[in-house]
Structure 1
Amino acid sequence: MRHELTAADKSQQEADVVARLWQSAQGQTWRNHLGEEARIGPSDVLVVAPYNAQVALIKAALPSGARVGTVDKFQGQEAPVVIYSMTSTSAADAPRGVGFLYDLNRLNVAVSRAQALACVVLSPLLLDAPVRTPDQLRRVNALCRLVESATVVAGV
């Protein structure tokens, strides 16, 4: 089944925020689980997005060779920093619906790839999604809990 995607499968605003976050990570020092310090370079940042159209926008905003892809591309890989662009402005705008965008496995894989820092770039409207089933409630609640436990940086 082919999904027709609308403009909600990409966000230039989020791509710009991701590019600023990616740039700000470059050259920073991080410490691994053994206490060893290293400088963060281009290969030390994974950028994840749910839709190929957003991946393309982000790739265009970053230097060649930046590690950008969907969750599927980075299965089993880790990096000191992971930036996850949720892309859609609201649940209503999400191509493929709440089930895809708020998928617990997708969210878990995206943020659990980070060895030191996970950044989730999202619209606050995604936290106020209407739900109709217990499964949708679990999915939206997981995102809300993640944001609640995070340090929020607005206007990066």
Structure 2
Amino acid sequence: MSLQNILHKKFVLIIIFIFLIILTLLNSNVVSWYEEGKTRSLTGSFANSGSNDTTTMVLKLMKLGIVEGYAIRRIKMFNDRVYLDRYRRSYWFGDRYYALDNKYFLETRETCAYRMRDEERKDLEYEEQPSEPILDIIYQCQRYVQHCCGLDCCNIFCKI
């Protein structure tokens, strides 16, 4: 076999391999991880959509003081976190500042992200860069005990 035939066969194998990778990516559910209205775990563990009622209530309570009050405000580092007593957890608007919050953000917890729909993120914008969209709401669950469940945390040992 000549060197040219060997190189030609290797080239064909590489092309077939790249084609198979592209075909696999097109058929995978990678896009669904970032669908609007879906929740995902940022650590790659199990997550589901949870209760629509809970998700709606959390969104309403979070936006109450920011965009539905008498003074509409933009999201900054000092007002991106909202603590909701009812759910006993903190929620962050967007993914820009949550990791910088060294008092409330705990790396030992399961970090979840809910991708807001267009109508849910209406009027939400960063003060420093209003053109950058706020896509996610970040929150945390107890690792090994709870999983991401809409905008709430569900017990791992209970079926939903």
> Please, what TM-score do these two structures have when normalized by structure 2?
0.25
TM-score by length of 1: 0.25
* Structure with greater helix percent: 1
Which fold has the larger relative contact order, with Cα–Cα distance below 8 Å and residues 6 or more apart in sequence? Answer: 2
